[in-house]
Amino acid sequence: MKIRGAVLEEIGRSRPFADSHPITVSDLELGSPGEGELLIRIEAAGLCHSDLSVVDGNRVRPVPMLLGHEAAGRVEEVGPGVDDIAVGTRVVMTFLPRCGECAGCATDGQMPCVTGSASNNAGTLLGGGIKLHRDGEEVKHHLGVSGFATHAVVSRKSVVPVEDDIPADIAAVLGCAVLTGGGAVLNAGTPKPGQSVMVVGLGGVGMAAVLTAVSVGSGEVIGVDGVPDKLSTATELGATQVYSPAELAEKGIKADIVIEAAGNARAFETAVAATAPGGKTITVGLPAPDARSSISPLGLVAEARTIIGSYLGSAVPARDIPTYAQMWREGRLPVEKLISSRITLDEINRGMDELADGNAIRQVIVFD
């Protein structure tokens, strides 16, 4: 079938992307769903730093590639072997499918799926196939989703059904920002009553972590970022204290659980330094592969502190997305506050500039 989607043509073009146009919105051919696959009509898709990191070259992927990994839509067709989800169901797409059989899948979210990671790196679907073509040329899938398009074919293991009362834009943000930021709090951090939670880096994932920490209500919730507007937003979301990195260091503020969501080496160092004795540093950001940090091993030993890497918030999407959906339904997790703007597919390059400049929390592409 003919679809329209946003294809990354070349990695590392100069800024502003609105002028260099690394992404083109064009017509493509999308194959039919095969064994264990679904055809999804995309309703909403969020712009995330994981998309930007491919555009700017921090995460090298094969191109051309149809981007987008945080999305929601309706099932339009089910392939052979899919008997547990009906046409018309709204689904959340998740960017790390879980095969359910590998060593990673046996860790209850602690480790990524081995098979899913391999297919993501290759730009294929979980089963190894490619369903996207343009002018006879293969176009790679982004993290098994390729959600910046009118339609997508995905593995059944890349989606989680949600009820119709969860709006499409909310559902989309659940699939990455909330899974990652919320999971950093609930799955990796596991705060006890009275423990404080600090979030370093207040983008979409960091703000989701703030929202989740507030919803848990265990203790102080502290936001840290170098952008004053983001500190104001974190306060609006319920953070009890906010600081710039310089203010944090000057005041010597520490927390029991510190989540690094900025994806750079300096932010990681800030998070480790701000972790209280006996506390946990949770890192969910994805810095450049050659980034390096300097920390004191003695401080970890003498103060009995722990550093935890948490990919996708140590989530099991089929378990966690319904939990976050119910929290939203009950008014405890106002995910709509994370959405800073709604844009069209044709505004994708400018949207990447907004993301790179730190002007957006979550921009969501809304499809008619």
CATH of the domain at 151: 3.90.180.10
Per-residue pLDDT at 368: 76
pTM as predicted: 0.95
Q: Is residue 174 part of a domain?
A: no
Residues 136, 51 within the same domain: yes
Q: Is residue 23 part of a domain?
A: yes
Residues 157, 275 within the same domain: no
Residues 131, 190 within the same domain: no
Residues 254, 344 within the same domain: no
Residues 138, 252 within the same domain: no
**Which of these, 334, 320, 322, lies nearest to 207 by C-alpha position?**
334
Q: Is residue 328 part of a domain?
A: no
Per-residue pLDDT at 143: 96
Averaged over 6-28, what is the pLDDT? 97
Per-residue pLDDT at 341: 97
**What CA–CA distance (Å, rounded) separates 280 from 300?**
10
Q: Give me 151's structure tokens.
A: 């339609």
Per-residue pLDDT at 59: 87
**What CA–CA distance (Å, rounded) separates 198 from 239?**
9
Residues 18, 156 within the same domain: yes
Q: What are the φ/ψ torsions at residue 18 (nearest 5 degrees)? A: -60, -25
The count of domains in the chain is 2
Averaged over 50-78, what is the pLDDT? 95
Per-residue pLDDT at 289: 87
Domain housing 42? 2-162+334-366
Residues 126, 184 within the same domain: no
Dihedral (CA of 250, 309, 211, 171) sign: positive
pLDDT tens readout for residues 158-215: 999 999 999 999 999 999 999 999 999 999 999 999 999 999 999 999 999 999 999 9
**Which of these, 128, 137, 152, 143, lies nearest to 31 by C-alpha position?**
152
Contacts (Cβ under 8 Å, ≥6 apart) of 277: 303, 304, 305
pLDDT tens readout for residues 220-273: 999 999 999 999 999 999 999 999 999 999 999 999 999 999 999 999 999 999
Residues 11, 147 within the same domain: yes
Averaged over 305-322, what is the pLDDT? 96
**Which of these, 95, 79, 78, lies nearest to 87 by C-alpha position?**
78
Residues 279, 134 within the same domain: no
Q: Give me 146's structure tokens.
A: 């390729």
> Which amino acid, one-letter code, is at 147?
G
Contacts (Cβ under 8 Å, ≥6 apart) of 12: 56, 57
Residues 264, 340 within the same domain: no
CATH of the domain at 237: 3.40.50.720
Q: Across the chain, what does the average pLDDT equal?
A: 96
Q: Is residue 297 part of a domain?
A: yes
The owner of tokens 């609006």 is 236
